[in-house]
Chain A
Amino acid sequence: MVDFLVENFLFIAEGIVTTLQITLLSFTLGLALGSLLLALGLSPLGFLSRLYIEPVRGTPLLVQIFVIYFGLPSLGVKLDAFTSAVLALGLNSAAYQAEIFRSAVKGIPDSQILSAEALGFSYLQTLRYVILPQALRISIPALVNEFVTVLKESSLASVIGIVELTRRGEYVAARTYRAFEAYLIVALIYFVVCYLFSHGSRRLEKRFRIPGYTGA
């Protein structure tokens, strides 16, 4: 077992670099698109955002990855595996992040928006200075949760040939015939990284907590 670890642990662990790259890029893409979806959702054309969010949340991510990687080329759009994975995960996460923002915005009392209006703020000013800064703070725990979800889901990128954490586990399993140990290492690394991120979330929440706020 020790020999197995010495020979293979580092090889597998290196995969976390690619995993984190995919995660960060897709999460950021999701953040940007999610914010746009929120803005769209708050506008009179709000139904358009539902038209995006519902199908994305109602279909398997793996199928979405296949549509982009295997499906788009038949429309003449050929993306490499890495780009396809980031795009699929990002487009997927955008739908979830938009929902996170939407419920956070609902948590801001109408009276504050009324008072901004009474002061003469435009709608965009109210959005920029009153709604979004508070909605982002409220969203932190759910966003971190979403980040961890994207990180775990990025393992699906292995099926279109990206050599990230899971795929490296597959290599080792195939070469050594010790699938149990190989995937245990993979699982352990996912767990430790996810745990660290979730834990960091609490510090982030504290850092951005509204001073004096004692509610839930």
Chain B
Amino acid sequence: MSGEVLRLENVVAGYEEKAVIKGVSLSVREGEKVVIMGPSGSGKSTLLKTAVLLVRPWSGRVVLDGEDLTSGRADLRRARAKTGFVFQSYNLFPHMKVIDNVALPLRLVKGYSKEAARRKALEMLKLVGLGDCGEKYPLQLSGGQQQRVAIARALAMDPIILFLDEPTSALDPELKAEVLETLRDVAHRGIAMVVVTHELDFAREVADRVVIMEDGVIVEEGDASLLWSPKTERARRFLRVIGTASAPT
């Protein structure tokens, strides 16, 4: 069995007074692809954020690459540099050229020289099929292209685990397809991935494990076969809903 990259132990988290994650345990092994599904408001985004302490857990432990991030002594910046995070709304920096969006974190966080950062950034842009867009600005690209840049930016950091929060849900169907194509390629690179998505076909294809959340807890967990034959009635109902909602790609 290969090593564990991320472990959540009975994590409870929320905003102000309101608990949103109500005791979640989850372990992700090297290279493993975990798909998280669940209704809106069930806490999927919050769970991803707690994994890199963008939301601080109230209790429980988050262990990344063997280091307890909740201990208070952890170097969060160094820990985050080992992970990649792709948001639904791309979140590129609009005032910087595309290539600088990818290169800047390499310089600031990974200590690359200007030249090395540019070289690596260009390599990553080529990887997502945008080798000729480096000199453009993010808002001059389509949503799908922006999301691919965000994926390139995350991959450039050589993460041991990549978190993706509904990476295609803001996109039109055609643009969705190109991003999913990129993500399939990424999945084959052997990086662990935790993906929140409602793209059933994509999930069936890449998932090693499927986690279904509801109201801040995991209600069902299993391998990808769960997506064909859910065991609980709740999961069945949920999959029926998204099965009809997600167009074939």
Contact = CB atoms under 8 A, between A and B. Distances in A.
Interface of A: 109, 111-112, 114-122, 125, 129-130, 133-134, 137, 210-214
Interface string B55-81: 000000000000000000000011011
Contacts of B87: 111, 114-115
Contacts of A121: 77, 105, 108-109
Interface in B58-115: 77-78, 80-81, 83, 85, 87, 89, 91, 93-95, 104-105, 108-109
Given A111-B87, A121-B105, A134-B95, A212 B77 contact: no
B249 interface: no
Interface stretch (B3-11, B136-144, B189-197): B136-144
16 contacts: A111-B87, A112-B93, A115-B87, A116-B93, A118-B52, A119-B80, A119-B105, A119-B109, A133-B95, A137-B95, A210-B139, A211-B140, A212-B137, A212-B138, A212-B141, A213-B94
B184 to A, nearest CB: 23
Contacts of B245: none
Contacts of A137: 95
Nearest to A113: B91
Contact of B54 (A109, A112, A118, A210): A118
A211 B54 contact: no
A185 B81 CA distance: 63
A212 B54 contact: no
A212 B145 CA distance: 14
Given A111-B89, A212-B138, A119 B94 contact: no
A120 B137 contact: no
B139 A212 contact: yes
B139 A117 contact: no
A118 B64 CA distance: 14
Given A119-B81, A119-B85, 16 more contacts: A111-B87, A114-B87, A118-B52, A118-B83, A119-B153, A120-B108, A120-B109, A120-B157, A121-B105, A129-B93, A133-B95, A134-B94, A134-B95, A210-B95, A212-B137, A212-B140
A195 B109 CA distance: 45
A120 B105 contact: yes
